[in-house]
Each structure stands twice: as structure tokens, then as C-alpha cells.
Structure 1
């Protein structure tokens, strides 16, 4: 990746129809479940942006596919997709808080590799509503730990997760942890049922960032 784009911490992704950030483009700041709306379905070859963005090879965040997901993560950086991700994206969305780039936040996904419906938030959740017993992957962003329980109301075995990957450019931080399936956390699939802010389990993945 090479530096480029904006000089602040505004989350965005500019998608280009040609390599090396050229050609027809569109700047995304929100979720986009169908790239044909902006005439870029299966057309993106390079991107510039800030934040953690996930691109899917089907509309509506690929709830049923077993194909790949493509990932961009950085602060004011650019990248040209390799052959596996070039001209394949049909939908895209970001992970993290809608209120700030590095705010403490969690995203829980119905499918593996961050596909399908999601349950998200920045506060405790005693249950996961319609996604109860349906979580297959997750991400956390920011500097707080989050504790994920296999029982409702913060009960049962649990694991605490801190961001374990860190990007910094010109003093702007992006901290995140990503788990493409539950086996990476040592949990069975579809077992997470509640979430609590803070590190409240003896099982800990990751650690607070050094600038916390």
C-alpha cells in the first residue's frame, strides 16, 4: 500500500474502476449493499481510504456465498487489488463505529468471514436479539476490551478480546481484531449470546494498545 487520500480521520473508501487509483470512481462513506446502484458492480480494481472496509462478491454482504471477502484496512492509504479481488465486489461495508474511526465498538456477523446480517454496538448487550445463537465471526475496533459470553445475561464461559492489529498514520490510530470464524477464539460456531464492555474473563485474546 502507498499513502494517499485524505489528511484526517474521516472514514471513507474511494473505489476506482482501473488500477492505481484511476478511472471512474465513487467515494463511499456508508454501507453499500448493491454496487450496481453506483454503476460499479464487479468493477473495482483499486481503492483509497481510511478505516476497515469489507468487500463482498455478492449483493447484500454475501449472506449465502462461500466465496472470498476482500479487505482494506488503513489510514489514508491506497491499494490495487490482486487478481482474486479485482472486478469481483458487488457490495461493501465498514467495520467499526459509525460515530468515530477508532471508537470502541464490536460487530458480530451471522456468517463466517463477516458475511450476512450483523449485531453491532458500543454498549453491553444481554442478548443478541434475532441473531441469538447465530454468530459465526466478529470484529472489535478501538482500545477497549470486550467480553463475549456463551450464555445470555453475561453468563457461562467467556472470552475477552482486545484489538491485536494496529495502524497509525500521522497520529491517527486504527485498532482492530478480526476473527473469520469462532474457532479462532476457541469457541463453537453459533454460541455467542451476550456481550459486555471491559475485560471480564480470564481468557484474553490480544492486549490493550501501548498508547491506551
Structure 2
């Protein structure tokens, strides 16, 4: 959702706190920080309340990650740029090939308590890594794919199918990052 055209009661740069159910991402720039700069803040939980620290009174767009009917279901959402910016691709099952409109994948969010194996090539080939949320949590955040030693994601499947180390992702209920222009 982009706040430029919401109406007179919901406008740009006024959101300073939130009460959420599910996984929500708040962006300082329009179109989910599509220019690959700006601040991003995420919050998740059941009726979880929080003041926005970095994007408070600067929110220009927001979006939901995961299954809209059951936020604790096992899903993966891939993002075009780091910090969950740009285009997104959501899935709840295996994918032999990420759609061609997702030319790059630089970050992702998993929901649920299961694990996913991500591959750098289509058809479950190439370097792979097994990822999931920390034990007892229902969301895991990877704001920068480079931290995991694979440059992109071209296919993925549920469960661990690689002999590499399993990575338990950051599962803090509230996270903040800022990316300045390069």
C-alpha cells in the first residue's frame, strides 16, 4: 500500500505506531523503497503493539509478508532488493524456478516454524542454504542475502535438503534498518 492516494484520513508521513497481527513491513519511501534507499521497519505478532522508531511519522508505504489468513503458516517471501525493498514473490510451497520478473533476489522473510532450502540456481541446483525462524518463533528475517554466501535465489523448497549449516534467522518482533544512497 502506497499512502499517496489513500484519502484524507490516512496520509503520507503520519503513522508513528502500530498494532499488528501477522508480519508487517513499514517503508519510509513510496513503492516499498523501490529506489533501493530509505528506512524500513518490521513488526510481527498477535496484536503486537509498537512505536515505530526509525520510520515513525515517515511511513510512505507498507505491506504484509506471509499468508494473509494464517500468519503462522509456513511461507517464504522473496524481495528484489535488500531490506525487503522492490518487487516481492510469495509462496507456500516448492518452486523450481523463481519467476523471471524477479531478476534479482536480495532479501527474504520466512514464516512458520518449518525450514526452507534456498538455491542459487533453478531446479534446486547450485549453492544451497537451509533457513528458518529461531525456535519458538513464527517469523525469520534476512534483510541481506549476501550474509548467507549466495548471491540470489532462483529456486527453493520446504525442509532442509542441503548438508550446509542450518541458519536460524533473526526473529526479533521489531527490526529496523536504514539504507542511504550510494
Confirm whether residue 194 of structure 1 aligns to residue 155 of structure 2: yes
SS of the residue 2:6 aligns to: helix
What corresponds to 2:148 in structure 1? 185
Confirm whether residue 37 of structure 1 aligns to residue 18 of structure 2: no
Confirm whether residue 155 of structure 1 aligns to residue 116 of structure 2: no
Unmatched runs of 5 consecutive residues or more in structure 1: 1-31, 168-174, 208-212
Inter-partner Cα distance in structure 1 for 2:42 and 2:153: 24
Q: Which runs of 4+ in 1 moved over 4 A?
A: none
Per-residue deviation, 1:133: 4.5
Provide the TM-score with structure 1 as the length reference.
0.72
Alignment of 1:48-197 (within 5 A): 48-82=19-53, 84-164=54-134, 166-167=136-137, 175-188=138-151, 191-197=152-158
Q: Is the 8 A contact 2:80 2:102 kept in 1?
A: no
Unmatched runs of 5 consecutive residues or more in structure 2: 170-182
SS of the residue 1:184 aligns to: helix
Q: More relative contact order in 1 or in 2 (CA 8 Å, sep 6+)?
A: 2
Provide the TM-score with structure 2 as the length reference.
0.83
Name the CA shift for 1:44/1:132 in 2 (closer, same or farther; >3 Å). closer
